[in-house]
Amino acid sequence: MPELTLAEKLEILADGAKYDVSCASSGSSRRNKGGIGNGAQCGICHSWTADGRCVSLLKILLTNACIYDCAYCVNRRSNDTRRVMLTPAEVAELTIGFYRRNAIEGLFLSTGVVKDPDHTMELLIEATRILREEHRFNGYIHVKVVPGADLLLVERLGRLADRVSVNMELPSRESLKLLAPDKSREAIVAPMKRVGELIVQTKEERKVSRKIPPFAPAGQSTQLIIGASGESDLQIVSLAAGLYGQLAMKRVYYSAFIPVNRDERLPAVIGTPPLVREHRLYQADWLMRYYGFAAGELLDEERPNLDLALDPKAGWALRNLHLFPVEVNRAPLELLLRVPGIGVRSAQRIVGARRGGHLSLEDLARLGVVMKRARYFITARGRFAADLAPDAAGLRARLTERTLPRPRWSQPSLFDGAGTMDLQSTITGEL
Amino acid sequence: MILRYDGTFAGFLSAVALARDRSVQPESITDREPDQQGLFTTIEEVATDRDRAGELYALIRSTLPPGALQTLRYAFHASDPDRGTLLFHYLMLGLATGPRFNSMLAHEAVMPVWKLARAVGREAHRYKGLVRFQQLEGDVWYAAMEPDHRILPLIAPHFAARFADQRWIIHDPRRGEAVVFDPARRKWAETFLEVTAPLPLTAGEELFRDLWQRYFDRLAIEERRNPKLQRQNLPLKHRRHLPEFDGK
Ligand code: SF4
C-alpha cells in the first residue's frame, strides 16, 4: 500500500476519535508564559459541525491500531480497516498549526493500544512533551490514559496535560466483561484513583509552593456509553454520583450508543441512538452538580429510569408538590433552585434583585425566569401567577415538553430557560 | 434637545457632563447624522472635552459598583442607535443611587442597558472562537471579521494574551477598523485599515486550510446530522470568514 499523506492520516484518525464526546475545554486557566497559548476559563467554540456540535479541540487518535477487541469500538482488532499512526512530532505540529490560526482551543488526544499499554502511554507523553517544551504551548491539552498503564506514567502525563481521562465506557463490571473483555474494571479504576489522589495532593502542595508543577489542573473526566448494555438510569446516575464524590471527577460524559459494528453481544438498535435518554441523563447530572440534588431524589428502586417526556427537575417537583408554592421574595437560594423554570443564574439574580425591593411577578420574567413553567410553583408578594393550581396530573400534562429537547452537547445551561426546547423531527421516533 | 457627539467614549462623556452641568434632560444623545425629526428639535454639537470627560469618568468609577462599570463599557460598544440615550439614563440613575445600583437590575433604566451589554458580551465571547488567522508573507497573521457590534477593542486583550509571540491583525472591513498587535512591545493598537490587494498567503497556509477542511468534514456524526441546530449555533452570517465553510 502506498504511504498516506498527512491529510489522509488526519482524516482516518479524526474519524476514529469523533465518537468521544468530551469536547469541553473549559476549566483551564493556564497562563501564557512567554510562548503561545493559554486556557480560557469558559469554553470557546471555534465552529459547529453538521450535527450541531461545538468544535473546540483538535480531537484525534495517535493511532487507530489496537491490540484489543472491544465490541462497540470502530478501532477494534477484528475490524478490517486501514491502520495508520502519527508520530508524536506530527501530532504536535498539527496542533500548533491549527492553534496559531485560532481554529482550536487545544488538543484532545486519544489512541488505540499499540504493543502494550505502557509503550502507548510513552508515545502520548512524548507528543505532549514536545508541545509543552519545544513549542512552548500553553493551550489546553486533554489526553486519554490507557487502562492498565503503569501508574508512574499516568503521573508523568498528568504533569504535562490540563486534563486526563480514563473512559469507564460501561457502567458495570458485567457489561465490561462481556463487551470489553481485554479491559478489567481494576485496570480502569486504578489510574482514576491515582489521578484523583494526585489532583488533591498537588493542590495542597501548591498552596505551599507554586514551584511544584500542577497536576491535571482541569481535572479528570470519564465517559459512559448509554444503551449498549442493560443498566438502569438509577445505576448510571448512582455511579456518576460516586465518581463525583469519591474520585474528585470533574465531568462524567454520557454518550448514546451508536452501533458501528455488527456483534451479537450488542443490542440491536433500530432507528436513531437513544439521544433523549442521553439528554435526560445530562439533566440529572446537572441537577446533582449545580442544583444540590442527590441521586436518590431523582431516581429510586421503584422508578429506576428517568421519564423521557419530562425533565427530571419537573418530575421531582411533581412528586413534592407539598413544598410549593414558594414565595420568591423569601425563599432561600437552595429552594429557588428547585423551582422548575428557575435556573442557576435566574435564582442568583432573584436573590440579588430582591435586596433592592420586593419583586413582583412581572419582574421575574425580566430576571430570566421561564414563567410558563415556574408560575405553578411560585408566588411573588403573595400573588400566585397561574390562573389555577392544577393537581399533579394536570400539571404533568402542562409541563410535558410537547416539543422534546434537542440533545445539547457542550456545557448546556439546561434549565436556564434561554430558548425553549423543541423537538427534532429526527428523534420523534423515541416517544 | 438632541446632543450629538463624535462617537468616542470621551465624546459621549462630554455630552453627559454638559447635560449634567445645565441640568437638562436631552431627548437623545447620539453620534448619528440627524434625520428629519431633527427639523423640530434643536441639535447641539458637543465638542469633546477630554478634561471634563476624565473628571466625569473618575466620578463614575468611584460611585458605580464594578459590575455596572463593565456593563457601561460593553453597552457603549453596541451598534444600537439609541445607546447614547439609554446609557445617559443609566448613568444618571447610577450616579444617584451608588452602591445600591447593583440590585436594580429590574429597573426600566437598567434592564435595556444590561441587555445591550449582554448582547455585546456574547458577541465578543463568540468571536474569540470565530476570528480565524491566515499566515501572510512577512510572518503576519491576518483575520477578517464582520461583527454586529464594535467589539474589536473588547476582544483584543484576549488575543494579545494568547498569541503573544505572533504579529497579528484583526480587521473589521465593514467598518474599516482594525487592531494590530506588536509582539516585541506586547501592545495592541486600533487603526483604520483597508485591504485593496489580494492577501499574500504563505504556502503553509494552503496546506493547513486543506488539513482543516478535511478534518472538519470528518467531524460530524452522520446519525446525529442536524443542520438546523448547526444553523442555530452558527448562523450563516458568521460563516463568511471560516475556511471550513468555503464556498458552501
Ligand atoms: S481498547 Fe480502546 S481503541 Fe482498543 S478496541 Fe477497546 S475501545 Fe477500541
Q: Would the pLDDT of A24 be above 80?
A: no
B210 touches chain A (CB under 8 A): yes
Q: Whose CA is nearest to atom 6 of ligand 1?
A: A70
pLDDT band at B162 (very low <50, low <70, confident <90, very high): very high
Instruction: Name the pairing type of β-strands A54-55 and A47-48.
Output: antiparallel
pLDDT at A413 over 60: no
Biggest CA-to-CA distance, chain A: 77
Cell of A344: 442557576
B168-218 per-position pLDDT tens digit: 999 999 999 999 999 999 999 999 999 888 899 999 999 999 999 999 988
Confidence of residue A38 (pLDDT cuts 50, 70, 90): confident
Chain B environment of A225 (Cβ under 8 Å):
none
> Which range has the top average pLDDT, A122-126, A353-357, B16-20, B193-197?
A122-126
- Predicted confidence at residue A20, as pLDDT, reads 63
pTM for the predicted model, two decimal places? 0.83
CB spacing of A366 vs B111 below 8 angstroms: yes
B109 touching A (Cβ < 8 Å): no
List the Cα angle B74/B77/B82 in 5-degree steps.
105
Please give the grid coordinates belonging to residue A46: 471555534
Contacts of A352 in chain B (CB under 8 A): 102-103, 105
pLDDT band at B83 (very low <50, low <70, confident <90, very high): very high
Question: Domain residues of chain B, as ranges?
Answer: 2-123, 128-245
Does position A151 have pLDDT exceeding 70, yes or no?
A: yes
Distance A76 CA to ligand 1 centre (A): 6
pLDDT of residue A391: 75
Residue B236 pLDDT grade (very low, low, confident, very high; cuts 50, 70, 90): confident
Using an 8 Å Cβ cutoff, are A164 and A154 in contact? yes
- Angle, helix B9-21 to helix B83-97, in steps of 10 degrees: 60
Ligand 1 center–CA A404 separation, angstroms: 33
Q: In sequence order, what are the beta bridge partners of B182?
A: B187
Q: Do B104 and A54 touch (CB under 8 A)?
A: no
pLDDT at position B143 over 90: yes
At A355-406, the pLDDT tens digits run 888 888 888 888 889 988 898 899 988 888 776 666 777 788 788 765 444 4
Please state at what angle helix B83-97 crosses helix B66-76, rounded to 10 degrees: 170
Question: How many Cβ atoms from other residues are within 10 Å of residue B34's Cβ?
Answer: 12
> CA-CA distance, A339 to A136, in Å (whole number)?
48
Q: What is residue A304's DSSP assignment? A: -
**CB-closest option in B218, B225, B229 to A11:** B218
Note the CATH architecture for domain A6-223+238-253: Alpha-Beta Barrel (3.20)
pLDDT in tens, A236-271: 999 999 999 888 899 898 988 877 777 777 776 656
| Interval A134-144 mean pLDDT | 94
Q: Which of A25-29, A197-201, A324-328, B161-165 has the lowest mean pLDDT?
A: A25-29
pLDDT exceeds cutoff 70 at A421:
no
The answer to whether the CB atoms of A407 and B216 lie below 8 A apart is no
Nearest CA in chain B to A359: B106
Asked whether A166 and A148 are in contact (CB, 8 A), the reply is no
- pLDDT for residue A285 is more than 60: yes
B241 shares contact with chain A (CB less than 8 Å) = no
Query: CB-based contacts of A305: which residues, under 8 Å, 6+ apart?
Result: A232, A233, A234, A299
Ligand 1 pocket: which of A67, A76, A123, A263 to mutate (most atoms <8 Å of CB)?
A76
When pLDDT is averaged across residues B152-169 and rounded to a whole number, the result is 95
Reported as a single tens digit per residue, the pLDDT across A11-23 is: 999 988 876 654 4
Task: Specify whether the CB–CB gap between A253 and A222 falls below 8 A.
Answer: yes
Which residue type occupies B37?
Q
Task: Say how far residue A202 (Cα) sits from the centre of its chain.
Answer: 24
Q: Within 13 A of B228's CA, how many CA atoms are on the CB side?
A: 8
Instruction: Give the model confidence (pLDDT) of B116-134 as tens digits.
Output: 999 999 999 999 999 999 9
pLDDT over 90 at A154, yes or no: yes
Instruction: Cite the DSSP H helix spans in A324-374.
Output: 333-336, 344-353, 361-366, 371-374
Percent of chain A with pLDDT over 70: 86
HSE at residue A155, side-chain half, CA atoms within 13 A, is 9
- Is there a contact between B13 and B52 (Cβ–Cβ < 8 Å)? yes
Which pLDDT does position A392 carry in this prediction? Answer: 73
CA–CA gap between residue B120 and residue A322 (Å, rounded): 42
Q: Residue B220: what pLDDT?
A: 80
Alpha helix segments (H runs only) across A101-212? 117-129, 151-160, 173-179, 185-208
Q: What is the C-alpha to C-alpha distance for residues B110 and B67, in angstroms, rounded to an integer?
A: 12
Averaged pLDDT, A396-422: 44
Query: Among A222, A212, A213, A217, which residue's Cα sits nearest to residue A199?
Result: A217
Q: Is the pLDDT of residue B98 over 60?
A: yes
- Residues A294-312 have a mean pLDDT of 91
Contact B103 A102 (CB under 8 A): no
Cβ–Cβ contact B236 with A under 8 A: no
Residue B45's DSSP bridge partners are B4
Window 174-233 of A, Cβ < 8 Å to B = none
Q: What pLDDT sits at residue B92?
A: 93
**Average model confidence (pLDDT) across chain A:** 84
ipTM of this complex prediction, to 2 decimal places:
0.89
Give me the pLDDT at residue A42, please.
57
Please give the single-letter amino acid code of residue A294. Answer: A
- Distance in angstroms (rounded) separating the CA atoms of residues B211 and A88: 17
Q: Name every chain B residue with its beta carbon within 8 A of the beta carbon of A105.
A: 129
pLDDT of residue B6 exceeding 80: yes
The residues spanned by each domain of chain A are: 6-223+238-253, 312-402
Cα(B218) to ligand 1 centroid in Å equals 20
Phi, psi of A411 (to 5 degrees): 30, 60
Pocket of ligand 1 (CB under 6 A): A 66, 68-70, 73, 75-76, 112-113, 180
Report the Cα–Cα distance between both ends of chain A, in Å, rounded: 48
Residue among A328, A348, A313, A341 at smallest CA distance from A416: A341
Instruction: Give the confidence band of A414 by pLDDT, cuts at 50, 70, 90.
Output: very low
Statement: residue A412 has pLDDT above 90: no
Interval B149-167 mean pLDDT? 95
Q: Has residue B244 got a pLDDT over 90?
A: no
* Facing residue for A353 by CB, picked from B105, B208, B230: B105
pLDDT of residue B103: 80
Rounded to 10 degrees, what is the CA torsion of A31, A37, A41, A43? -170
How far apart, in whole angstroms, are the C-alpha atoms of residue B217 and residue B226? 14
